[in-house]
Amino acid sequence: MDDKEKVIKAFKESEEPLNATKVSQISGVEKKEVDKIMKELKKDETLYSPKRCYWALKE
């Protein structure tokens, strides 16, 4: 499983929106790498922000 899959899995398993630090803790991926992956996912519109600085997967 690559880092991107780990990040997406962390979002799928969470019942609440997450910030990059929390995603890093859950997935075991370095925060710097999580930031990069989340940036891609935001650009693809895979993630949306229900509240400031927190993100969730679009259904």
| Buried residues in 22-59 as b, exposed as e (16+ CB within 10 A) | bbbebbebeeebbebbbeebeeeeebeeeeeeebbeee
Question: Which pLDDT score is estimated for 59?
Answer: 78
- Domain 3-57 carries which CATH code? 1.10.10.10
For the stretch 15-50, pLDDT in tens is 999 999 999 999 999 999 999 999 999 999 999 999
User: In the chain, what are the domain boundaries?
Assistant: 3-57
Q: What is the pTM of this model?
A: 0.89
Question: Which pLDDT score is estimated for 1?
Answer: 86
